[in-house]
Amino acid sequence: MGDMNHSVGLSRTELVEFDIELQLESGRLLGPLRLAYETYGKLNDRRDNAILVAHAWTGDAHAAGRHHPEDRKPGWWDDMIGPGKVLDTEQFYVICSNVIGSCFGSTGPTSINPRTGKAYNLTFPVVMVRDMVRAQQMLIDHLGIDRLLSVIGGSMGAMQALEWGVHYPQRVRSIVPIAGCGCSSPMAIALNALARQSIYNDPMWRKGNYRTEHPPADGLALARAVGHISFLSDASMQLKFGRRFSVRDGQFDFFGKFEVERYLEYNGRNFVDRFDTNSFLYLAKALDLYDVAWGFYGLEDALSNLKCPSLWFAFTSDWLYPPYLTEEVVAVLQDLGRPVSYHLIESDYGHDSFLVEPEKFTPKVIEFLGRISRAS
Amino acid sequence: MGDMNHSVGLSRTELVEFDIELQLESGRLLGPLRLAYETYGKLNDRRDNAILVAHAWTGDAHAAGRHHPEDRKPGWWDDMIGPGKVLDTEQFYVICSNVIGSCFGSTGPTSINPRTGKAYNLTFPVVMVRDMVRAQQMLIDHLGIDRLLSVIGGSMGAMQALEWGVHYPQRVRSIVPIAGCGCSSPMAIALNALARQSIYNDPMWRKGNYRTEHPPADGLALARAVGHISFLSDASMQLKFGRRFSVRDGQFDFFGKFEVERYLEYNGRNFVDRFDTNSFLYLAKALDLYDVAWGFYGLEDALSNLKCPSLWFAFTSDWLYPPYLTEEVVAVLQDLGRPVSYHLIESDYGHDSFLVEPEKFTPKVIEFLGRISRAS
């Protein structure tokens, strides 16, 4: 995992500015547009070895390597990206870009609205996953790539992969959606509703006009705790925490805590230091609105645009995007006669399985990418 | 359901005061003690036809009938209790009492602490389900009943039924725990942690010293929304809400809402008018602390005290107290050679199934109670 021999080494987040106004699904215009991205490996002469990695809700462009030699942790998917790894940087040119709406360099609610000279905050337009992909497409142009070998990602990354396949069929040769869905479920929306309300309830939120140095910390920490619960599973919580008490003599203390509570609180608090509240809300909205059939006559109509081979994974204990949501999409693709592979992976780690137990599905990814690669 | 021919008719909540100090599991003393209760039907001459109904988290003593002819709704388990119903009041004497710690007449955080002359608020002791049952036992004494024909309840009511069986084996002839467990899971605790934190985050909470007319409404409403999510299921939300938008033209409105969000908000708000925040927190604590093995060497040791027949139900889509939690208990009882029946009920309604689809399990209850009754 941390083996430097298989690391991409030092990596760096690049920024690119597009002096355009991007028309969003909502009809609103967003621009100028900045995208933050990282690349690993080299684009080959035929320019046909590029793989786009799409990140999840709170991810960023820093998918692999370290920004500084002393960084405690490498990028968020360093297990997957590097020389000899699944996304082998000796073979592939790997790109990861921060989505619009986020707070890690790409245009989002914390960016300055050129019309007002102030941060957008809630004047930022509601973006859909489709808009994120539309922006990524400009980056791919910028990098001089006509067709991506693949788009791969988990969770919101899986949604992006699917949108790529449906809306830019001429620009992708394959997609690998992991722990994704064709649309988010009311349960997922309900959980995000809790997260939203916990932020709205925080007087520091001030309808999104908080000052950066005084974020609605209590609200955001609680919102993140909701997220953590949805990423875990009953089984993984049993394994990780059981019914252990954090302070044993506190059993009859009104404010006593179980280990699982302490974990949620600790991780919620940490999150406040690294993520912007408005960005969190905008991305939650994008997740809730996600529906590949949006703007089409239905799921079949939407998916009929997807021509390339797709490789899907779902995880048995994932209750945020349960397997049936992937299976609905896969069934339609099969009916349409598209080249589609689907694997239901046994894992106890809930939605997080794709990060916790990659070894359970990566052999299939390696085989798939090899096949796509050779077919070029 | 609302058929007055099968109703117990007008019912009334009675109060009984016990001038004692009850020693709680925590070692703290609670007293004097008041219990609110209702009874339906008549105690027979042999005093052997009494069934105790134990309520869930936010329930009360008003299980059947109406307090006033114009009441819009009858008691919370009116479907089950009445002439010719499952708990047939022409045959049984049915008792339901509000648990200690609650806010519907029995001693709880809103009660006056006799030592200070003020409401307990957070000086109220942490109570366990075992303490609720200990208090109920005094009520059963007061009503002149030596042995209960049965104790029946869902959710926290199931926990009470099990505690009755384990701690007062000489006083119960059977128990019927529905959608229960031997101990609550870390997932259930984590969900309660969200509810707690949402209340703690509300500045109106004032560490439990809010004024009754100014409760922490935002926090309690959000806490209740957490509860609602855990009582439902992915499938029931798909059925009930799907991805319907509450205000269709609000799709790209930052504050636009899906139906499921509106439901959670509406029900959360309503709850504030009927439930006390501190009581909510104390009962959440009791649920989290619930472990039948508490104070024993383990589950087998605890369950070896349960001598009477028990009838258990779990529901396939219940993810708050999933079937495996009931099955763990049932397996030990079987190993101990106890008379135990268990039925896994197929239902899409999550934890709420026991309230939504009683017809799926009530025939087994009728048969069971008939058998226990005849064996007297």
Exposure string (b/e) for A106-120, b if CB count within 10 Å is 16 or more?
bbbbbbeeeeeeebb
Q: Do A186 and B226 touch (CB under 8 A)?
A: no
Question: Residue A127 in contact with residue A33, Cβ under 8 Å?
Answer: no
Q: Respond yes or no: is residue B68 known to be catalytic.
A: no
Residue of chain A minimizing CA distance to B319: A234
Best of A24, A30, A187, A294 to disrupt the B interface (most B CBs within 10 Å) is: A187
- pLDDT-derived band of residue B251, with 50, 70 and 90 as boundaries? confident
Is residue A3 predicted with pLDDT exceeding 60?
no
Q: How far apart are the C-alpha atoms of B114 and A62, rounded to whole Å?
A: 61
Is residue A2 predicted with pLDDT exceeding 50?
no
Predicted local confidence at residue A4, as pLDDT: 53
Is residue A249 predicted with pLDDT exceeding 70?
no
The strand pair at A14-18 and A33-40 is best described as antiparallel
Best of A198, A240, A251, A327 to disrupt the B interface (most B CBs within 10 Å) is: A198
Is residue A11 predicted with pLDDT exceeding 60?
yes
Question: Residue A37 in contact with residue A18, Cβ under 8 Å?
Answer: no
Is residue A350 predicted with pLDDT exceeding 80?
yes
Beta-carbon contacts of B127 under 8 Å, excluding residues fewer than 6 positions away, are B24, B25, B26, B30, B100, B101, B282, B285, B286
Predicted local confidence at residue B237, as pLDDT: 96
Which neighbouring-strand residues pair with B36? B15
Instruction: Tell me whether A203 touches chain B (CB under 8 Å).
Output: yes
Instruction: Tell me whether A276 touches chain B (CB under 8 Å).
Output: no
Q: Respond yes or no: is residue A249 known to be catalytic.
A: no
Average per-residue pLDDT in chain A? 96
Residue of chain B minimizing CA distance to A24: B252
Write the pLDDT tens digit of every residue in A103-162: 999 999 999 999 999 999 999 999 999 999 999 999 999 999 999 999 999 999 999 999
Beta-carbon contacts of B188 under 8 Å, excluding residues fewer than 6 positions away, are B230, B287, B288, B320, B321
